[in-house]
Amino acid sequence: MKLLAGNSNRPLAEAIARSLGANLTQAQVKRFADNEARVTIDENVRGEDVFVIQSTSYPANDNLMELLVCIDALKRASARRITAVTPYFGYARQDRKTEGRTPISAKLVANLITRAGADRVLTMDLHSGQIQGFFDIPTDNLQAAPTMAADIERRHAKTEELLIVSPDAGGVVRALTLASRLNAELAIVDKRRKGPGVTEVANIIGDVAGRRLIIVDDIVDSASTLCGAAQALHDAGAAEVSAYITHGVLLGAAIERVNASTLKELVVTDTIEPDPRVGPQGKIRVVSCARIIGEAIRRIANEESVSKLFD
């Protein structure tokens, strides 16, 4: 087994390698003067089971192309099996036609990864489960719920006082998974989308008055919707509101928006390398998913069950 890291999230790749007691494969993943991706693998990988660790986060197009070039380099170097490990799968929100004459970009990206030569995909908390069906190769969609649940149990002594909140109807299954692990109740925010990244809270399903709430979702981008939901829940009588989000995209003024909001805390995983502005002085905290990804890699390499991780 060999681990090859791209440049999108080097700290996570190194943490995964440490969890497996392995070293990252020696390689040069660089750019030509015109920003073309250039990959040279400095170790023999013939007949090896290789895992390419590369989130397709911002800049999404550059990181995606880097992943594809890494896969192609391994294929031409006669690697036995290539697994694309994409902790954050970009373009996942474009998973259906929402109006006429629009693409299904998630399917396009799945095709690109497959045609580049990947034999398998390992990712975490896809925006929607049906994206697994976009791939014609085996795809494992890991869950951040075990990592989140363990952190919540450490930080919140009385988990029975908690109320898990889904920020919309589409996230109910994800929120319910976490709620069942914590033996907590569930509430739902009825969110109406007015446009890309623009939503409003129409209704709150469940009694949130006096409760400690935890919003659970897969992606936080501009954080305007998240902060708006937190304010609506506070206005409905919640004692405090925190959020656990898998993928902290956090572009633009998102970090400042979170720090100025009514949120007590926003916890994200390291599927995307944290912005340098995320620090101990603010409301955003990072928990690592390196151990669970590393264990999934070990199980795949040993032909063991990955789904057992979530039993």
Catalytic residues: 191
Cβ density class 52-76: b for 16+ within 10 Å, e for less: bbbbbbbebebbbbbbbbbbbbbbe
Quick one: tokens of 182?
A: 């914590």
Distances (CA, A) of 112 to 65, 83, 108, 290: 9, 14, 6, 26
Helix (H) or strand (E) holding 39: strand 37-41
Which segments of 42-88 are extended strands (E)? 49-53, 81-86
Q: How far is CA 230 from CA 39, 177, 213, 247, 264, in A?
A: 44, 21, 9, 18, 9
Tell me, what amino acid is at 259? N
Helix (H) or strand (E) holding 27: strand 27-31
What's phi and psi for 40, nearest 5 deg?
Answer: -130, 125
The 3-state DSSP class for residue 165 equals strand
- Distances from the Cα of 83 to the Cα of 14, 58, 102, 120, angstroms: 17, 21, 30, 5
